[in-house]
Structure 1
Amino acid sequence: MTDNKEQDTEIHPLKSEEGVSPASPAKKGVCLGGSRLFHLSSWRTVAFFASLFLCLTIVFAFSFIIPCPVRPVSQRTWINTYRDSSTYTFLAVTDANNDKVMDVIFAFRGSNGSLNASCSNKGFSPCSFLVAVTGTNGSVLWKRSLSHELLWVQCGIENLGGLEAAGCLVFNSQHLTAIDSRSGVTLWENNNTLELKQLAVKVPDLDGDDVGDVALIGSAENKTKVVIVSGKTGQQIGTDADPGLSDVSGHVIHVTSSGSYYILFKKDSAVYGYALKNIVAMAIKMPGSNTSNIKLQQDPKWEEMTNSTSGSVSVYNSGSVQHLLKMGIQGKTPENLLLVTGHWVELIDGQSLSSLWRVNITKVISEPVFGNFNNDGVPDVVVEDEIGNGTKKVVILNGSSGAVLWEVEMMSSSTSPKPSTVNTADNRSAFLFWGEVRGKTNTTVSLNQQDFLYLLHPSYPKILLELNNSTENIAAFKAVLFEKSRHACYVLLTGPTEQSETGSVSLSKRELKEDVTLSRVVRLSQEEGFSDKEVRDSFLMLQYSSSA
């Protein structure tokens, strides 16, 4: 028996001597533990499905219940017409309603009933209106009537009135008004006795309110005066500064390589530079005035060139100056200076003031514009040169050397606006200009009635696209990217510009690709072997860029 029991124990080692498994109590514990695990597993299942349901609910809410921002739908073409009116040559483009689509600000003269606004209560008729319209469809965003004849408007001034958005300055009848470009409301007003024929310049913060200020250049008793006003409040800072000049016809603000600010004054035959630090010192010269917080400096190199008697730097004195422009090069400080005289176009170095290149011309008939023709990182210069007999030559000059990159002769009109450019994604530009390319037939009469708009891209230097034509007087024209890196259009403002004349004033926006589809291909040479359809298709595939 004993042997059988031991044998049975060897066969069933977990059984006790009483024939009961020693693990039986443990099995009871395992069952109890299993029960607890079962309850725990149930709670985990509930938590899992609850979390899954919550996640699905959130996804559903964000996908359907909470709508995504609706991107504005821009009409390719729109036009606004104002009857019995006349217009100004002012045209500005900015995002006035913060929808990431550029809007248009312009001005015109009209009757009291225009735009359902009146200025008869201000004792002035006809009214002058400043209007902002949306770039998407041309509807009015805001409007304001002006009680006196408008002399000039300047938009795009950052932080005006202390706002984050850019504002506009409006000057009429010795009355300067700063307005919010988003709403048209008045930010501040300044009554000034100066004759302000020229636009203002933005200068650094001079009164310590963390908002950049504004310098106004005008004349009083045949003397040039500089008035500095607070960009935040419009209050004058100090008194009128007198740099000792007369007959100034233009100005720009220039920053040297050391970060020093200079105001460059353009006279008929020369350009003179005055340190902003010295002008501020003239304005704030009252006893006890604290100027320690004004952080301005003078450039050491420019001070070596300063005349000790006049306090000015002779920037240029080699001929009659018609235009003075700044030409910026990405990554280079300072900007170079482009001067147009009666006989040549010249680029001078913005630091050393030495001549970089000079090109002889006959007579420049419009202000030059900049674009990129050869993709070398240096802006090229578009010049319209009158060559006689109602003909002009449109020339694109190499910004690096002044060499002619491209040119074409065409019939000219006195009402043609200056050219415009828009950047393309290949680091070049599309060039737009008005005139009429002479064909095989005699077209010497037609330009008295029509202006033609042409599009050029460096990919096809021997081909132009004739996009549009106009029989109206063109007051202003501008090529614009209405949305970042897309929606390339041009804005056209037509109508009489004289106060004594009235007629139909039209403001229109047209998408370039829309006009390309309907364009006429003009071949400057028969060497190009592309069909008209291939040319249009290539222009339709152009991608545009917001960066230079």
Structure 2
Amino acid sequence: MMANKDLEAEIHPLKNEDRKPQGNLGNQSKNEPDSKSKPLQARLSRCRTVAFFLSLFTCLFVVFIVSFIIPCPERPPSQAMWRLDYNAAVTYDFLAMRDINKDKIQDVLFLYKNTNGSNNFTRSCADEGFSTPCAFMAAVSGANGSVLWERPVAQDVTLAKCAMPPPSDNELSSACILVGGLGSFIAVSLFTGETLWSHSSSFGGNASILSPLLQVPDVNGDGTPDLLVLTREGQEVSGAIYSGSTGYQIGHRSNLGVDTDGVALLHVTKTGAHYVLLPCASALCGFSVKSLYEKVTGKESQFKEDSYWENKLNRSAHRRLLHSTGAVRYLMNVPGKAGQDLLLVSSEACMLLDGQDLVPRWTLDATQVLRKPILGHYKPDTLAVVIENGTSTDRQIRLLDLSTGSLLWSQSLPSLPGGPPSTSLMTADHRSAFFFWGLHDLVSTNEMEPQDVPHSLFMFHPTLPGVLLELANVSANIVAFDAILFEPSRHAAYVLLTGPASSDTPGLVSVTKHKVRDLVPGSRVVHLGEGSSDSDQAIRDRFSRLRYRSE
């Protein structure tokens, strides 16, 4: 009988609880609190469940609202091609690219000279106190070619330099500095076009200003990079420092003791000392920013001097650092193993100099370099330098390994006298696409007048060394050219500034943007030598698949 009750209790445990033995009645009072807490725990459990599902529903509702009902901010459409024209105008060899309207697309800055601006703006030369015609600066949207701002800036422009983008949006650090033809010295805001400061220069009536305007580190402690302006009057070259925030001269002008009319370069040695380098006939001259500042102000400077360089300068009567074979024509900073190295091009050779001890790493015989070299990547993550040697009609393009000077690629590419410069863009495979201007048939056309021969833009990529892609033909006079990434890792495009060849003859001035990828399908494939086994369409497809990246 007892066994049957135990079996029933195992099968129906709840029944057993309902019929508790009388012997357990004495313990009922001890268990009473537990029996009261069970409904409370059940209610808490139900509340937690409700709260969980309510939170989940709220989150899903918010995701739904954000994803489907509230529209995402629209990215401005970037047109593949746009063009802006000005009639009866002349233009300057100046192009700058900056993101002016903060849409993450690079915009275009340029200068032109006209009686009036475009129809979008009403400011005239007379409104700014200039006689007509005068120089205008314009900022154009890289996305669609619309004018962001445009205003008269000077009677004429001799030099222009836009500051490098600063880490912050400090307006004084984001300015274009202009030197006017009648001695005006102006800073214009990149964002608005408004004048930040304007002064009559103290350069001297007969002085010519040497290019470029050099942006030097902040010497007066106001947080804005300052400007070094070099001028030449007769046989005397002088230097003066100007505040980047106010435009006022810091100290007085000082004779540098050098004789040059070449392009100056700011170089930082591997010890962190800033030096200004200048070509002096068949030599390289220089002086430290520290010594110039102390000379023009009479105050001690926080800048460094390099003892090795100072010893070389002190042993020379004319501030010479290095003797060169032939006249120095071009000088540029290039990345080195532990800082900046120097690439020097003379009338007889091209050489890479160690940026500290100025010892040649390699030398290339190049007797007639047409223009300043450019850098790019022929091999992945390995810098190469492009040397254009010869005259325009027998131009030879050479790509050299920057570290060793060894020849990587060469090609004859005739061009017109004074043709546009070459440039390069980094591609996603850590190489570069190179852009060269030349003649359509890659042969000399001496029987034709230069103005009748169109410029052809050729594209080259190291993965197809036996092929050039002819992207475009331009008959107009090209004043300035550049190829850039308008959007990081999105699309590459080139910008052309065309206008009259002479500033005395106004005509049509045009600014044009073309997306590179959209030009590839209609391009002409030029096979070099043996050529590629791929069809022309397969080659175009490979160029179309190229992706670009920021340096």
The answer, yes or no, to whether TM exceeds 0.5 is yes
Change (3 A) 1:295 1:440: closer
CA distance in 2, matches of 1:380, 1:104: 28
The structure 1 residue matched to 2:363, chosen from 332, 355, 358, is: 358
CA distance in 1, matches of 2:509, 2:227: 33
The structure 1 residue matched to 2:107, chosen from 93, 96, 103, is: 103
Which residue in the other structure is 1:183 paired with? 192
Q: Could you report, residue by residue, the CA deviation over 1:217-254 in whole angstroms, capped at 9, with x for unpaired residues?
A: 12346421211122222222211122112343221111
Which residue in the other structure is 1:148 paired with? 155
CA distance in 2, matches of 1:155, 1:385: 30
CA distance in 1, matches of 2:209, 2:321: 24
The farther-off stretch of 235-244 and 310-319 is 310-319
Is the CA contact 2:263–2:278 (under 8 Å) kept in the aligned structure 1?
A: yes
Change (3 A) 1:540 1:164: farther
SS of 1:250's equivalent in the other structure is coil
Is the CA contact 1:241–1:280 (under 8 Å) kept in the aligned structure 2?
A: no
Which residue in the other structure is 1:491 paired with? 495
Q: For 1:440-455, what aligned pairs fall within 5 Å after superposition?
A: 445=448, 448-455=452-459
AA of the residue aligned to 2:436? F
SS of 2:351's equivalent in the other structure is strand
Which residue in the other structure is 1:254 paired with? 267
Q: 1:168 and 2:184 equivalent? A: no
CA distance in 1, matches of 2:77, 2:65: 25
Question: Between the two proteins, what is the percent identity of the paired residues?
Answer: 34
Q: For 1:121-520, what aligned pairs fall within 5 Å after superposition?
A: 121=127, 122-159=129-166, 162-163=170-171, 166-172=174-180, 173-194=182-203, 195-220=208-233, 222-285=235-298, 289=299, 291=300, 294-308=301-315, 310=317, 312-329=319-336, 332-375=337-380, 377=382, 379-387=383-391, 390-436=393-439, 438=441, 445=448, 448-520=452-524
CA distance in 2, matches of 1:204, 1:412: 39
CA distance in 2, matches of 1:358, 1:374: 21
SS of 1:237's equivalent in the other structure is strand
Is the CA contact 2:172–2:196 (under 8 Å) kept in the aligned structure 1?
A: no
Q: 1:119 and 2:119 equivalent? A: no
The farther-off stretch of 434-443 and 361-370 is 434-443
Change (3 A) 1:39 1:502: same
Is the CA contact 1:157–1:168 (under 8 Å) kept in the aligned structure 2?
A: no
SS of 2:267's equivalent in the other structure is strand
CA distance in 1, matches of 2:479, 2:358: 35
Is the CA contact 1:161–1:178 (under 8 Å) kept in the aligned structure 2?
A: no
CA distance in 2, matches of 1:185, 1:421: 33
AA of the residue aligned to 1:344? A
Displacement of 1:530: 1.0
Displacement of 1:454: 0.5
CA distance in 2, matches of 1:123, 1:509: 31
CA distance in 2, matches of 1:64, 1:167: 42
Change (3 A) 1:483 1:60: same
Is the CA contact 2:172–2:245 (under 8 Å) kept in the aligned structure 1?
A: no
Is the CA contact 1:81–1:506 (under 8 Å) kept in the aligned structure 2?
A: yes
CA distance in 1, matches of 2:540, 2:266: 42
AA of the residue aligned to 2:490? R
Change (3 A) 1:339 1:181: same
Change (3 A) 1:353 1:14: same
AA of the residue aligned to 1:185? E
Q: Could you report, residue by residue, the CA deviation over 1:305-338 in whole angstroms, capped at 9, with x for unpaired residues?
A: 1224647242344321221112224xx3332222
Displacement of 1:340: 2.1
| TM-score for the superposition, normalised by structure 2 | 0.88
> Runs of 5+ in structure 1 lacking a partner?
none
| TM-score for the superposition, normalised by structure 1 | 0.88
> Runs of 5+ in structure 2 lacking a partner?
10-15
Change (3 A) 1:230 1:24: same
The structure 1 residue matched to 2:534, chosen from 530, 535, 548, is: 530
Change (3 A) 1:38 1:461: closer
CA distance in 2, matches of 1:452, 1:103: 25
Is the CA contact 1:107–1:129 (under 8 Å) kept in the aligned structure 2?
A: yes
AA of the residue aligned to 1:349? D
Q: Could you report, residue by residue, the CA deviation over 1:89-114 in whole angstroms, capped at 9, with x for unpaired residues?
A: 11111111222111110111122253
Displacement of 1:366: 2.1
